[in-house]
């Protein structure tokens, strides 16, 4: 019994994802959504509930697809150094992929919100904080393993790389190329504890010990 729907739920969900990605939560109207998805409002509400639940489903889909690289990088690399480098490298590629809108949906889709969607804004903020916490945990793991200087501040370092990723997202939305973002990534990696120590390769042993854990030079 019963009629079957004439559209593919996953296909139109991906279309909604890109609409929210490009214009953001509030700026994307149900009218523009249905027009892009090729369906009428009753079909959207029957399949996804309402605009807010559609956006929530979009965010979940985003985190399992386009936005999954961050968490994956934290777990698949042998060291925090390589995990962060991969995070930045893949963000450069992902944020400028011409196959979809630029930048990161979690970073940019709920920035300008009125009081009635403040909870959506807060939900995105919590996702960003969770991502930063994941970076901090990966760095802290290497710190306790003795792979980083004793005075390494995992939280502060994670905040720096989270900010770097967020800056890359903004730059991508402003038209920066993949190469532009890769150069941002390279500069950011120069702040890694002990980085640029290559300049000391082959130096006398009595100076070798000054490589890591040195406080920032003013």
Q: Which of 30, 68, 145, 191 binds DNA (CB under 7 A)?
A: 30
Taking CB under 7 A as the rule, does residue 1 contact DNA? Answer: yes
Taking CB under 7 A as the rule, does residue 10 contact DNA? Answer: no
Cβ distance to DNA smaller for residue 7 or 69: 7
**Shortest Å distance, C-beta 51 to DNA:** 3
Cβ atoms of residues 105 and 62 within 8 Å: yes
Q: Which of 14, 19, 22, 46 binds DNA (CB under 7 A)?
A: 46
Taking CB under 7 A as the rule, does residue 4 contact DNA? Answer: yes
| Tokens found for residue 189 | 């990696």
In 3D space, the residue among 36, 42, 2, 1 whose CA is nearest the CA of residue 18 turns out to be 36
In 3D space, the residue among 178, 182, 210 whose CA is nearest the CA of residue 196 turns out to be 210
Q: Is 57 helix (H, G, I), strand (E, B) or coil?
A: helix
Name the CA radius of gyration of the chain, rounded: 21
Q: Which does 61 bind (CB under 5 to 8 A by kind): DNA, a second copy, none?
A: none
Q: Which does 207 bind (CB under 5 to 8 A by kind): a second copy, DNA, none?
A: a second copy
């Amino acid at each position: 019994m019963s009629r079957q729907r004439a559209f593919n739920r996953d296909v139109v969900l991906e279309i909604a994802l890109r609409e929210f990605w490009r214009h953001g939560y509030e700026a994307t109207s149900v009218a523009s959504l249905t027009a892009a998805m090729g369906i009428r409002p009753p079909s959207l509400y029957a399949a996804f509930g309402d605009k807010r639940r559609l956006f929530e489903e979009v965010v979940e889909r985003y985190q399992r697809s386009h936005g999954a690289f961050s968490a994956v990088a934290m777990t698949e690399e042998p060291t925090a150094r390589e995990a962060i480098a991969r995070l930045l490298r893949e963000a450069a590629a992902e944020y400028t992929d011409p196959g979809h809108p630029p930048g990161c949906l979690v970073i940019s889709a709920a920035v300008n919100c009125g009081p009635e969607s403040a909870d959506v804004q807060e939900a995105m903020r919590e996702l960003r904080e969770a991502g930063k916490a994941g970076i901090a945990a990966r760095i802290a793991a290497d710190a306790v393993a003795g792979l980083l200087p004793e005075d390494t501040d995992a939280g502060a370092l994670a905040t720096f790389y989270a900010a770097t990723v967020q800056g890359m997202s903004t730059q991508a939305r402003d038209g920066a190329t993949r190469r532009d973002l890769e150069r941002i990534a390279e500069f950011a990696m120069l702040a890694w504890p002990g980085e640029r120590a290559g300049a000391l390769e082959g130096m006398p042993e009595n100076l070798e010990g000054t490589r890591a854990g040195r406080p920032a030079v003013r």
